[in-house]
């Protein structure tokens, strides 16, 4: 399963020092930049978070690699 990485909110007293965490899903902007449609992502069971508005390059790269792997599998068959 593919998981997105998102930034943590900043709190006044930092208990955890990590800057990122695993998110609920990929944003629509990240899907669009990687070349996925919403229907394709749902068929592949890629999580989508419609509330997120940000686009992180790391997540776009993960989705592009996933798309390349799928194309290679189709060509092999």
- Give me the residue spans of the domains in the chain: 19-76
Average pLDDT, stretch 12-22? 73
Handedness of CA 52, 34, 66, 73 (dihedral sign): positive
Please write the tens of the pLDDT for every residue from 33-53: 999 999 999 999 999 999 999
* Enclosing H/E stretch for 40: helix 38-43
Residue 68's pLDDT is what?
A: 95
Token reading at 48: 């989508």
Query: Does residue 14 have a pLDDT over 70?
Result: no
Which string of DSSP letters, residue by residue, matches 52-67?
Answer: -----HHHHHHHHHHH
What's the whole-model pTM score? 0.82
């Amino acid at each position: 399963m593919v998981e997105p990485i998102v930034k943590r909110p900043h709190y006044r007293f930092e208990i955890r020092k990590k800057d990122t965490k695993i998110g609920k899903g990929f944003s629509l902007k990240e899907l669009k930049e990687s070349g996925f449609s919403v229907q394709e992502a749902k068929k592949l069971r890629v999580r989508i978070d419609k509330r997120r508005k940000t686009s992180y390059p790391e997540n776009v790269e993960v989705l592009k690699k996933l798309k390349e792997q799928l194309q290679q599998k189709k060509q092999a068959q």
